[in-house]
Amino acid sequence: MADVYQALSSSVRRDILALLKKQDLSAGDIAEQLDVGRSTLSGHLNVLKSADLVATQRQGTTIMYSLKTSVVEDVLNQLYSLFSKDNKE
């Protein structure tokens, strides 16, 4: 789970996840909407894939990225239980 939190520590990666929440996108589509270089974007996408926050699917020569909502939901549930009043002693 540490890799998920590390992946979420970057505002650029959070921005990527916000874009993917709306729709599946290619790296080119993401790059058009964010102010980052393509090699930097590639690194961010690799971190998100390694943390299992995004899935990829090849469509011809294009790789489409999508948000893995089940993993995001698990992280949110863990954070909620960590900070909920029911969990305090």
Sign of CA dihedral 25, 18, 7, 11: positive
What is the per-residue pLDDT across 46-57, written as a single tens digit (0 to 9) for each? 999 999 999 999
Mutual orientation of helices 11-22 and 38-50 as an angle, nearest 10°?
Answer: 80
Where the chain has pLDDT below 70, the residues are 86-89
CA distances from 5 to 30, 34, 58, 75, 86 (A): 21, 21, 27, 8, 23
Its pTM stands at 0.82
The reported pLDDT for the residue numbered 89 is 52
In terms of CATH architecture, what is 2-87?
Orthogonal Bundle (1.10)
The reported pLDDT for the residue numbered 2 is 77
Q: What's the CA gap between 40 and 58, in Å, rounded? A: 21
The reported pLDDT for the residue numbered 3 is 86
For 83, the token pair is 């900070």
The reported pLDDT for the residue numbered 86 is 65
The reported pLDDT for the residue numbered 52 is 92
